[in-house]
Amino acid sequence: MNRSFFQQKRDRNETAARALLFMSALVCCLLVVLILGFMVVTGLPLFGQNQAMDLLTGAWSPHNGGYGIAPMIFGTLWISFLSVVISFPMSLGCAAYICVLGPHGKATVMKRCVQMMTGIPTIIYGFVGVFLLVPLIRNTAGTGSGMCILSASLVLAVLIAPTMILFFIQSFDRVPRSWLDAVDALGGSRVQKLVYVVLPACVKGIVTGTVLSFGRALGDTLVALMIAGNAIQKPDSLLDSARTLTAHIALVSAADFESMEFKSIFLCGAVLYLITALVILGARLIERRGTHE
């Protein structure tokens, strides 16, 4: 009698806890949907017919009533793509040195340093970039203000490198110990270990890490806002100034609520959201394929 009473109480607690935990997880997920929802709900009524499409593809020429965000999309893609291109070899080299090529004693210290680097605030990269790198680029190039795609990409490359390195190290560490021992037993050098065993085994991890870092570069606001110059134009060269979607949102959000300029930032937000979703989905698909085979 008594026992079943406790049993019931226990079951009730268990069910209640389960429900509470599920609700919290659900709320978190709904938030993600809500973020897109709020942008669409606030943004959508602002557009007339076909306006959304014009905004997405058209050119930016406020005098003729054109408020297309295409230049910003190009700016974003240029800057994040270039920063990944710069950062990828550097990160791969560092990760290889830490995990395989370098002496074992230094590995832990260097990994700690890289972890610390991820903690450096973005605003500090931007601040130092403005006062150190921009004048340097200006003087070297001889033209322009120094605030250009190249400067922004260089700073962004250093910014995303630690994250990329940690991704790579994580996937290097998953290579089975016995494989590495086998190379040592066969008398292979460290470089041979890296090239013939570790890298082929980690292709998926490397691709995933790069894709996610691309997502990170894409979403960065401060570096592009402070260093890329923010001119609205389709960039032609690396020394051209450009504006990213993120910087556009930051700059225009202070503008007049009724203007078309203001309406365009919700579209920018939605585009960024969708690109991020694609990046995450892509990274997950790559990893999924790895586990099935």
Partner 1 sequence: MNRWGEKAIYSLSVLSCVLLFGSVAILLGYLLVKGLPALNPGLIFGSTPMVDALFLKRQVFDGIFPAMAGTLALIALAITIAVPLGLLAGIYMAEYSGRFTRSVFGFFFDLLSGIPSIVVGLFGFSAILFFHHHISESLAPCLLVSALSLAFLVLPYIVKTTQIALETVPQQTRITGLALGATRLQNIVFCLIPESLSTILGGIILAVGRCAEDTAVIMLTGAVVSAGLPDSLFKGYEALPFYIYYISSQYADQTELTQGFGACIVLLLICATLFTLAAIIQKKVRHTLLYRH
Rule CB under 8 A: which of 74-103 touch partner 1? 89-94, 96-98, 101-102
Overall residue count recorded for the chain in this entry: 293
Please count the helices (runs of H) and the strands (runs of E) in the chain.
14, 2
Contact stretch for partner 1 (CB under 8 A) within 6-14, 51-59, 63-71, 167-175: 6-14
According to CB under 8 A, which one of 110, 141, 201, 238 is a site residue for partner 1?
110
Judged by CB under 8 A, the residue of 53, 85, 109, 120 near partner 1 is: 120
CB atoms within 10 A of CB 240: 18
Question: CB-hemisphere CA count at 13 Å for 224?
Answer: 30
Nearer to partner 1, 149 or 164 (CB): 164
**Which residue in the set 59, 77, 130, 260 belongs to the binding site for partner 1 (CB under 8 A)?**
130
- Secondary element (H or E) of residue 208: helix 203-219
| Residue with smaller CB distance to partner 1, 21 or 203 | 21
Q: Kindly tell me which residue out of 82, 222, 239, 242 binds partner 1, with binding defined by CB under 8 A.
A: 222
Residues 56-75 that bind partner 1 (CB under 8 A): none
Cα 13 vs. chain centroid, distance in angstroms? 42
Provide the terminal-to-terminal Cα distance of the chain, rounded to the nearest Å: 54
- Please say whether the beta carbons of 207 and 279 come within 8 A: no
What's the rounded Cα separation, in Å, for the pair 146 and 150? Answer: 9
Of residues 182 through 211, those in contact with partner 1 by CB under 8 A are 189-192, 194-195
Closest to partner 1 by CB, 4 vs 64, is 4
Instruction: Choose among 173, 166, 151, 290: nearest CA to 227.
Output: 151
The minimum distance between CB 164 and partner 1, in angstroms, equals 10
- Count of residues in contact with partner 1, rule CB under 8 A: 87
